[in-house]
Amino acid sequence: MMSLSPLLKTMLRPALDYALPPRCPGCGMIVDADDAFCLGCWSGMRFLGEPCCARCGVPFDYDRGEGAQCGSCLAEPPPFDSARAVLAYGDVARAVALRLKYGRRIGLARLIARQMARQLPEMEDAVIVPVPLHRWRLWWRGFNQAALIARHLGRMTDLPVDNHSLLRSRRTAPLRGMNPKARAKAVRGAFALAPGHGLKRKAVLLIDDVHTSGATAAACARTLKRGGAASVHLLCWARVLPDVDD
């Protein structure tokens, strides 16, 4: 089927907007443009960035200097080299993540990837790798939300995307409701690398939707590092912040 020409799309746009007006990704309110948040949702979003822990990305109240790390990372360094997220996990971030993951609003993956692109770390010889789903969960859901985000991010950045090297070799119970120790135990040994994978000496940009306790990212990072990856950098849509600031 032939795609619509840009001129035809322009001509049809008013009719399409009338029939299917763009809606806020957070609450569904009608907005002026695609992928635009309404004022209420926008004001309720906490964007993350500098100053923050150079390792895990937890925000600092003030700039502590280049390379500064939080107390938790100094006491027990995580296996990934850095972790960044677009938003602090809250009502809007959760709504978008759930609509993508369970509401099958797969178009939201493009929105998420566009925001993630602003947080890309500087890396050489990098490859994008999504956190994998077990094959049975992939079959049941029909898609891996992290892989959808990774695909769009790869198109936006021209970085290669590898969906096949990192595998979820063991099915795990849903992690929602588990404490950090239970999460870490649930994902221990749940990931593996495919034979002949191409990630040795590569900088891996590990993609996931939500960073909660870090157990899944840590398990993936350990697997990737054991397989020869030069570094692992986690990038997410949202992260749950610690209750107590360091």
Q: pLDDT band at 1, cuts 50/70/90?
A: very low
Q: How is domain 47-239 classified at the CATH fold level?
A: Rossmann fold (3.40.50)
The pLDDT score that the predictor gives to residue 6 is 57
Q: Cβ neighbours of residue 51 under 8 Å, at least 6 residues apart? A: 59, 60, 61, 62, 63, 64, 68
- Omega before residue 130 within 30° of 0, cis: no
Q: pLDDT band at 104, cuts 50/70/90?
A: confident
In the chain, what is the straight-line distance between the N-terminal and C-terminal CA atoms, in Å? 56
> CB-based burial of residue 134 (10 Å sphere; 0-12 exposed, 13-18 middle, 19+ buried)?
middle
| Contact between residue 131 and residue 216 where contact means Cβ atoms under 8 Å apart | yes
* CA-based nearest residue to 229, from 125, 157, 154: 125
| Cβ atoms < 10 Å from Cβ of 47 | 11
* Domain ranges (residues) in the chain: 1-43, 47-239
| Cβ atoms < 10 Å from Cβ of 143 | 14
Does the structure show a pLDDT above 80 at 2?
Answer: no
| Residue with the larger pLDDT of the pair 188 and 150 | 150
Mean pLDDT of 214-219: 91
Residue type, 189: G
The model's pTM is 0.86
Does the structure show a pLDDT above 80 at 160?
Answer: yes
The pLDDT score that the predictor gives to residue 8 is 52
User: pLDDT, tens digit, for every residue of 45-62?
Assistant: 999 999 999 999 999 999
The pLDDT score that the predictor gives to residue 18 is 47
Q: Cβ neighbours of residue 26 under 8 Å, at least 6 residues apart? A: 37, 38, 41, 44, 45, 91, 92, 95, 96
| Residue with the larger pLDDT of the pair 243 and 83 | 83
| Residue with the larger pLDDT of the pair 178 and 113 | 113
According to DSSP, the residues that pair with 232 across neighbouring strands are 204
